[in-house]
Amino acid sequence: MVDSSSQTRSGGEAGLKSGCLGFKAILSLAIANIAPATTPTLNLPKMFSHSGNGTWLAFLLATIGLVLVSLNINQFASRKASSGSMYTYVAQGLGPTLGVLCGWSLSIGYIAAGMAVLSGFVSYVNVLLQPLGFQVFPVLLFAIGTGLAWFLAYKGIELSTTLMLGIQLISVALILIIAWIVLKKHGFAPDMAQLSLRSVSLPNLQLGLVLAVFSFVGFESATTLGEEAKNPLKYIPRAVLSSTVGVGLFFIITSYVEILGFSSSKVTLDQSKAPLNILANQAGVGFFGVPISLGAAISLFASTLGSLTAGGRILLSMSRHKLLHRAVGRVHRRNQTPHVAIALSAVLTFLVPTILSLRGIEVMKIFEYTGSFSAYGFLLAYILVSVAAPIYLRKQRRLRRRNVVVAVVAVLFLLIPVVGSVYPVPPAPLNVLPVLFLVLMILCSSWFVWRRWREPEIINEIKRDVRANHS
């Protein structure tokens, strides 16, 4: 295996393959990290237990709020291109120190998200195998899923993004077919219980909004492809915004249809482990159950691949700024991928779920814990980039009143899931996760302070790199 150090330039930033991805490939990474098939198959029952008939409204509000966050991200994405994503964006607006904080937060978010979707993948593989009368040991499936995702991410960005796009389209198409059949079975009549928000309270809607926002995390991952995109200042902002709007509409439709379908079911939605399979049986197309479960499993695998792809590029950028060992910044000379950073992400993605599983924790509990933990990383990054956007525009002498309004509303919106995730205090061990995230951020920040004390030039290097990537 031949590689080059992070200081070697071969084509793109640090040797990444420059200008190889079109809009579809960029969009596919954003969609893969959201993993749209995950929400109607795994997240929706839990969300319904909180928001009930207001679930669709929670998704609508989440879509609007995250569109505002997208607009803040795009203030940077339309003017600069870098594999560092929001790490370099925040550094441009708020300075290197908060930029580094955002980088650590994003890294934690992507790695933990990879753990969550890998756990979901393992769960759905065993759902598929259950009718055959046997189950596969979760640790073996963790190894297979992580190993295959690592290999595809290592081989090349073009291969992995093309595969992710196809997988997501098939999964979404299957779910939409079921949705159409359910609507047709009910005569396309409006569900007044949902539209009138029957039995929906404001506190319960807030809890549902927390989970709705968590369903979107990773939508900004296209910004990590700044060096590999053909037209980054055009395609990346378009991918960030269109993935948010498109997936948001998908969530609103599928949540409405699933609740409608379960209104006449003996099994309640919040007690269902495979809601789409039940709806398929009720609609007389039970044979759809296997392809839906298969599509969900493959979609979750694609999201694991997307997390490794995006997270590896954040680690690459941080390594170039001496925040990680310089080996993490190496790029494979032939494949032009950050193979060491991807391998590091893959090892962590495998180890944590494996250790939890060996300690007797159920796979779906691992999905819940790691998914909730990843959301803290993304939420902090979204807040920082929303605060940074108007400050950055002011430095560029492009600040308008509407930019301030968008930033303020976005931050206020993001504070809802932040507060909702800690108050009322969630049951154990979910109540420990915010504390664990805070401890990790303090440790990472302390490491940066020590590195800055040892090598004061790190700050200037980050500033120079950020300026170099600005267009």
Tell me the pLDDT tens digit for each residue of 247-304.
999 999 999 999 999 988 888 898 887 898 888 888 787 787 788 888 888 888 988 9
Average pLDDT of span 72-90: 89
The CATH number assigned to the domain holding 86 equals 1.20.1740.10
Is the model's pLDDT at 7 over the cut of 50? Answer: no
* Consecutive H or E run containing 98: helix 96-129
Please tell me what DSSP assigns to residue 190: -
Rounded Cα distance, 51 and 432, in Å? 24
Residues pairing with 331 in the sheet? 4
Query: Residue 470 has what pLDDT?
Result: 52
Average pLDDT of span 325-331: 91
Cβ pair 430, 372 in contact under 8 A: yes
Report long-range pairs for 158-164 (Cβ below 8 Å, ≥24 apart). Answer: 158/17, 158/20, 158/21, 158/25, 160/305, 160/309, 161/21, 161/25, 161/26, 161/28, 161/29, 161/309, 162/25, 162/28, 163/302, 163/305, 164/28, 164/29, 164/31, 164/32, 164/302, 164/305, 164/306
User: For 22-56, how does the pLDDT look when each residue is reduced to its tens digit (9 = 90+)?
Assistant: 898 888 878 878 889 889 988 899 899 989 999 99
Please provide the average confidence, as pLDDT, over all residues in the chain: 88
Is the model's pLDDT at 1 over the cut of 50? Answer: no
Is the model's pLDDT at 8 over the cut of 90? Answer: no
Other Cβ atoms closer than 10 A to 461: 14
- 437: which 2 tokens? 């995230």
* Consecutive H or E run containing 276: helix 275-282
Query: Residue 298 has what pLDDT?
Result: 83
User: Nearest Cα to 78, choosing from 247, 217, 229?
Assistant: 229
- Which region among 28-42, 88-102, 385-399 has the lowest average model confidence (pLDDT)? 28-42
pTM above 0.75, yes or no: yes
Could you list the residue range(s) of the whole structural domain that residue 225 is in?
3-469
Number of domains making up the chain: 1
Query: Residue 269 has what pLDDT?
Result: 92
Q: How does residue 140 score in pLDDT terms, banded at 50, 70 and 90?
A: very high
Average pLDDT of span 372-385: 95
Rounded Cα distance, 430 and 331, in Å? 37
Rounded Cα distance, 121 and 355, in Å? 17
Helix (H, G, I), strand (E, B) or coil at 419: helix
What ranges in 35-85 are assigned the alpha helix state H? Answer: 38, 44-51, 55-77
